[in-house]
Structure 1
Amino acid sequence: MRTFASNIFTAGSPTAGDVYLGAPITANRPGDFGPLLVKVDNKLQAWKRTYLSQAGKVVLLKSVIEPMLMYTMSTTAIPNSVIKKIEAKTREFFWNNGNDRRMPLVAWKEITKPKSQGGLGLKNLLDFNNSLQMKALWAIAAKEQALWITVVTAKYLSRANLWVSARTTRCTAMWRSILEVRTIIKPHIRWQIGDGLTCNAKGDPWHNMWEAFQPANASERRVKVSDLTGNPNSPWDTPKLIELLGFHGALFISLTFPDGPSSSSHPDRLILTCTKNGKFSLKAAYRMSQNFRGVNRPLPQHMEALYNRIWHSSGIIPKARFFLWKTVRHALPTDYTIATRIGRQLQGCSICGHRREDDTHVLFKCPKARQTWLSSSLGLRTENLPDEVPAILATISPNLSEELFSVMAMVSWSYWKLRCKQIFEGKDFGAAQVLKLTEGYARNMRQANLIYAVPRMVPRATSERPPASFYCFSDGSWVDDNQDGSGWAYVIFDDNQVLCQFGMQYGRSSSPFHSELLGLYCAFRTVKSLGIDSCCFLTDCQHLYRVMSGLEMIDSVHWGAFYEAIDLKCLFDASEGFYCKHVCRVNNCLADSLANYARLRKVVSTGYTFPTVPHL
């Protein structure tokens, strides 16, 4: 039997409709995805026969439909026409209730935005498809060891570079889709040079001018960065650099990488510069695709804070959260909303007869609503509130505690529910009924939180290390643009709190964490050079402390500090008398001041050992 990977990327014998492990082997046309559309439709039709709230539909779309599509998208590029059909089916399922067709009150492109941006967190299938194709592109660019990568490289990249390879009439749909997402990921991909044995000197993205240097023949494609290193007295082999890249290219590389490739045994690694740790993730790829298409424009800060509070506040039942989201999105089926959408005449408020029944009037300005809010524990007077619900919630929510915000959400939901019963069933209500219903919801939510609360784990007692002979404080100084460089410093005291030595240094770093790491690295080397065998290193960077103590993985550090973090962690592990602790910033003010001084005054390197200390 042919392997699935080789069947995807080789045109030939398999026919349209052939599947392997539930995924189509050859799917180049929209008609080849008929079984997938039938499968999605069958799932949605089965759920249509069951009454589900819109909040429940969101959960089902996320947990069933999106994983089903992800499985197919991981191996096959779904055409845009098929994606639009699937979105039409899911949009109809979300808004309609069985055979009852309802008006969509929020655009689908808004619903597929993140919750913090005013959406419901559903995936935009086009961006989702692009992110999975970028995952395949990443695996090829990183030269991972897999059979399908070997097949692709042999067929399409034996005489061409991945980043400039052109489409052909005989390539598969999967390969065409991989080439299409190159423009999205190309600005964010970079090789971090270690030993230089993996990255190609020409054609691979490892410096800012890499696109200008593409291999002209097979011999140039085989040249690695390590082949350009010189002797110990010269980091680069200048004649080789000039021969391969020309005079200007050689000058650029020499100035950009003055120290040459790393002399350590760390391998080259492909990094994604838009992520903190440099690793590829579908979340980062999805965000890149959305930013490339310009669909995620930032909201005002107060609106983003409001959405985050709606979805993350405790004590609110899910239906009340969803209702609050609909009020902010102007998605309540009020008389004014429906009349403006279909172009009919306004009928006014069904409760008080006011000429305009919009969401602000229904929830805050109607006489019954005013009485309800005044009688609630909030004691809210709504006469002088703004005329738009988003402005009202953004105004009052920052002044509410967690408990009062949940009360506001459930009072709104309870009032809307009883109001609908009066309109459609003729059941009159007052403020007392609304508050009684709200209290019932709150009581049920408290009981549910008690039943399903995660038990706290009792931490194990850890053995304290013996007191050290010396204590070394370190810190780093870094500004946002990093145009003027960074600074780091250390201060060493003995066990009698006598100052023994201090030092500071100016240089370049890629992140605040990197500058903190360089400060600790400089302190470690200094302590070693002084012959100290027992020292406690103190840093105010919690992340650095946890990494050096083994409480967090090194993979979590910023990609620019990855190699230094590995080296420093190995030094800590090999030194029995050295260990790291966290200290608050207030108690690290001396090292902090020296680090700032080194950055501002560009102090290259300085250190001073007090001769009066007998230990040294």
Structure 2
Amino acid sequence: MNLLSEFCASFGQMINLQKSFVKFSLNTPPDYRDYLALSLRLQSKPSIGTYLGLPNDLGQSKVSDFKILIDKVASRLFAFASLRLSAAAKLVIINSVLVVSFNHILSVLKIPSFISSYLDSMLASFWWRSSGFRKGMALRSASLLHLPKRLGGLGLRSIGCFNSALLAGTGWRMMLNPQLLVYRLMVSKYPFHFALPATRITRPSWGCRGLQLAMSVVAKGVRWKTGCGSSVRITTDEWAPGVLVSFKDGLSESELPTHVSSIIDPRSNVWDSSRVHRLFDGLIGLPILPKWKIFAWKVVHSTLPVASALSVRGLSVDPVCCFCRHEPETVAHLFRDCDFVSLLWGGSSLGFHRPSLHRLPFLHWFSTMVSLFGATKDWVGLINFFSILWSIWLSRNNVRFRQLDVSPTEVLSLASQWCARGQQAQNFCLKSSSLPLRPRPSVTAFSTCCYGDPLSGLDICLLCDGSWSSDNSTGAGWIFRDCVSPLVLNGGARASLSSSALHSELQAYFWGLHSAYSRGYRRILIYLDYETLCLILGRRQRSDVSLCWLIQDIQALLSLFEAYRI
């Protein structure tokens, strides 16, 4: 009481003892409770009461404390049951009326899984119910109803997931606003509560458990802003959207970098593309036949049905190599270590000799060979490599399943046929990728991009050009010239970074247009020396998706001019 009197004297307020009460712990003896309540001249109550429909003092049984939500929803469902609502109306009522009625509870406290599951069952039963108080028949599981509409569901609120989402929002707001009183209280009691990734806290309160769940949800969704990458670990931190980054198979530990900064060019601050391809590019991106890509994937991941693997799985097959008839048929033995196969590698155009074949483990050797061909862009050597592997596999199947006899000469002849097919397919792909998506138009289309009435007179002539270097550095320049004379009026230049020559040309074009508009020119004649750029702006050729936003900005800027001609 002395403490309360000191508080009243300090703040100039009085406590109404008639409206106040005291609550004791359950471990306090009853006679001692009565004595303390009489001494304090306050009445004793077993519970603090409720706030916004929820008990303030939660007991050990959280299910019994949160059953009030079940009663609340059940009473509202009883009121809606007689309205003969359509399925669409019920969906709106569930998401916008019933669930919203206890949003304030879901956003601060974790609902026990039993309560959330029971509420989901009640709401789904209400939606399936045909009319009145008749029990409906659920023709599909509730998980389909809870799927978002874009994924084929109905978007029905799942109480447990919705509870986690609201708690995550609360935790995130507290992290972004450390000046809040609730944040300071939580951090003072649980110092590592808002650490990412979420840390385990011993003996937390129920409210802290809910926020701890929120931080675990937030930790799954947050990503690094990479920056220079010196503090971001490649395989441990979640810096790439939606996935933990991992290196491709077959690389040695010594050549694996640890931080993102090691795969960024320090001079240009862009990705070191050659190293990125060497570390992360898989087999699917190689310019080889699609069946070879799947075949290589099976080799790397040990899913090729060789005899030893089938024998281990209980199939009655002969596990001995069908070529040498001495060793078990494993992937390494079949494609490299067999004496018969060693003759093939030695007699091929690649000229592998037996000591060099066995210097590395098979998977490491296989990945190193593929990476070496890819890094040097030796596509002919890559096709030769895969044609021999594929011919060995085909010959093995002929011997094992068709009882045919094969010689090294026949296998090499088969490999040369597949090599020719691979080179033919590769030449077709390279030729197709280098051609425009539509037939190349005549040069007359080079000057047909017009808007407004350029024949009635133009204010200025704009000439712009961009340059690009292999280190991704870019230079852009533009000048303004009189339309009827070679007199140069003014101009500008700018340095930047870009991913390609087309990107640099687009940047120069955008900056030149922006400069022309800011100087007050509204009717312009534009000269370009890059025909592909004209075709893209004239919507006669598609562009790379990475440039579509810059092209949209250019087209939006062009729409501001009264007239232009390219």
- Give the TM-score taking structure 1 as reference length: 0.37
Greater RCO, 1 or 2 (C-alpha within 8 Å, sep 6+): 1
TM-score after normalising by structure 2 = 0.40
Higher radius of gyration, 1 or 2: 2
